[in-house]
Amino acid sequence: MIDLTLLGCGGGMPMPNRHLSSLFININGRKILIDSGEGTQVAIRKNKLGFKSIDIILITHAHGDHIVGLPGLLSTIGNSGRTEPLILIGPSGINEVINGLSVLFKYLPYELKVIENPKKLEFVFNKDLIELSSNDRCEFVLNTKELDHSSPCLGYSLYFKRRRKFNLEKALQMKVPKELWSKLQREESVEFNGVTYKSSMVLGDERRGIKLSYVTDTRPIDEIIDLVRESDLFICEGTYGSDEDINKAIKNKHMTFREAASLAYKGRVNELLLTHFSPSINEPKDFIDNAKSIFKNTIIGEDGITKALKFTN
């Protein structure tokens, strides 16, 4: 099961009743954060989510409402006692941005690994830490697409694989030594008495995992449909609720509720959660019908809203 907390649902600037857009992902006690605008630390504390076990930070782009809170956050993670490497991923130019911000966090007690504009990355859960995969084993796949915004910007999809069931009949048929059964459920291959045994010799068929997609800030482009296709949850910006604000959306390279819903419909996602609301929108729920008329299973993001994504049979 994957637990999600929408730390904030605002765009542009923090408001008295609305933190800036950021998502906190918890899987097996390890954490992934998407974006860190001003006030993100406050939202994390408010929701009692913790700092030390944040292994990966995904930055969509380098506008202030998505990254200004990063220096303080990285320092707090260090003060929490973290010594393991932390992975930070972002669009083209993120290395330059991090180098510039680094004057504010010169002495981190952990290594900060910055990865710029990747297309696809594979990860594993090792010893209570999410790490880049260095072999054939993979438990979590990250895909990205470049978006259409006023600065380099990435959309993200995260696919968490589901472990295959142990198949006793298969293991016996393949004459796999019993002492290797548990190892092969965790590892791709094991050498034993000069013979290489593969995990496929003891495991059943592949099972569908969980797909989560996150897209902000951008105009609606076809590449997004491919990125989010068949997501269990698609979190998307809805900067403007009213259809009458389409010209603002085009000018500022953002989306209306209706445009976001159209992407969800074309991508055949299970559920759409709208976020990144303009400060000019006091009550995003007033515009929900503009989205639901296109994609019925739409919900409006709220600060602190939680979701649990479960593996299906």
Annotated binding site: 61, 63, 65-66, 149, 217, 276
In angstroms, the Cα distances linking 142 to 1, 13, 105, 287, 306 are 17, 28, 27, 32, 22
In the block, tokens 């504390």 appear at 45
Binding-site annotation: residue ranges for Zn(2+):
61, 63, 65-66, 149, 217, 276
Of 35, 65, 245, 303, which one is the catalytic site residue?
A: 65
Beta bridge partners of residue 156, listed in sequence order: 144, 214
Structure tokens at 154: 């990435």
Q: Which amino acid is at 148?
A: D
Dihedral over alpha carbons 293, 298, 304, 309 (to 10 degrees) = 180
The whole-angstrom separation of Cα 239 and Cα 245 is 10
- Residue 65 appears among annotated catalytic residues: yes
Name the residues annotated as catalytic.
65
